[in-house]
Structure 1
């Protein structure tokens, strides 16, 4: 009888569960927070629409908090699939900002230490994630999310410092090109073929020797590391038409 009465009340638009009503009200506040911050991993102290949703969400992340309420879990995941990540919420907050900023194809080079959003130095955070030792400590899921937006770890420079060795055309060098040289060669090839140096982030350029260069990602990485590039490297990039290298 109680079940039938509840169904009738729902049909009339009447609230019969105070708990469900409170959840829906808090969920609306959580949605408002997500619209502004791109994540539901809010700090515990956050209040939105006069509701303490930071603490509310933290409570829901506790083991067993959603037992018996699968529809609540579904509702939260619909707003943010990573509302309850297996890694620290602070990491997710930084990642969410970087993800949204990198929706712009060419903005990675400007996400440098000192770039602050919502009180977080996302430039410093991003540089730290790309350090080989930090990257190795991330979970596969974290690395996968970063790679999906074009972020990869810094590769130690393999090219020797010093004057370039001249090789005659009659005796081509058999020494493999260093990473930077491969990138320059790939960009030059792309420019010769397309007449442009505007490369989509996911583009992969295949060189004559069969080497594949993730050219779009490589360019973004060079732009991010601009302050650390040598004058020779900046000159080479500028000669190909990358305006930021000559700025």
Structure 2
């Protein structure tokens, strides 16, 4: 059995899945086999709902929609603005200005579902 930091990293299920078939075969020939994948906790598997959107993202979108409906305009939201939204009977305070700023700066990493949700609210850069 080969020991060391590098073989241990390559045995991880996530890393093993990224290796090519030839790389996996060569490692197998050296006696390196993949670890069994560790199942994600139930909360992690169900953290996304409503079309693949995370709960914090859904809260941000709901806050943006509520803000637009109340204000009636699409002027920039001040960075310090907080919006209180009621989702499923629970009140959430969303730092809407921060949500918009962070989402815009990370727009290249948004999923198609997230882009769609923002585009439906008239966000031009989504």
Query: TM-score range with shorter-chain normalisation?
Result: 0.5 to 0.7
How many Å separate the matches in 2 of 1:214 and 1:164?
A: 23
* Structure 2 counterparts to residues 63-212 of structure 1, below 5 A: 159-160=47-48, 164=51, 178-197=55-74, 198-208=76-86, 209-212=90-93
Q: Between Structure 1 and Structure 2, how many residues are aligned?
A: 76
- Paired residue for 2:6? none
8 Å contact kept, 2:63–2:94: yes
Q: C-alpha offsets along residues 7-37 of structure 1, whole Å, 9 cap, x if unaligned?
A: xxxxxxxxxxxxxxxxxxxxxxxxxxxxxxx
How many Å separate the matches in 1 of 2:111 and 2:66?
A: 22
TM-score (norm 1): 0.29
How many Å separate the matches in 1 of 2:83 and 2:96?
A: 6
* Pairing 1:215–2:89 present: no
Moved runs in structure 1, 4+ residues, more than 4 A? none
Structure 2 counterpart SS, 1:210: strand
Change (3 A) 1:163 1:183: closer
8 Å contact kept, 2:79–2:96: yes
User: Considering only aligned residues, what root-mean-square deviation do their CA atoms show, in Å?
Assistant: 2.3
Change (3 A) 1:216 1:164: same
CA positional deviation for 1:196: 2.4
Change (3 A) 1:224 1:210: same
| Runs (5+) with no aligned partner, structure 2 | 1-45
8 Å contact kept, 1:205–1:214: yes
How many Å separate the matches in 2 of 1:223 and 1:207?
A: 21
Change (3 A) 1:242 1:163: closer
8 Å contact kept, 2:51–2:113: no
How many Å separate the matches in 2 of 1:241 and 1:164?
A: 19
Q: C-alpha offsets along residues 115-151 of structure 1, whole Å, 9 cap, x if unaligned?
A: xxxxxxxxxxxxxxxxxxxxxxxxxxxxxxxxxxxxx
Structure 2 counterpart SS, 1:203: coil
TM-score (norm 2): 0.54
* Pairing 1:240–2:118 present: no
| Runs (5+) with no aligned partner, structure 1 | 1-157, 166-176
More strand by share: 2
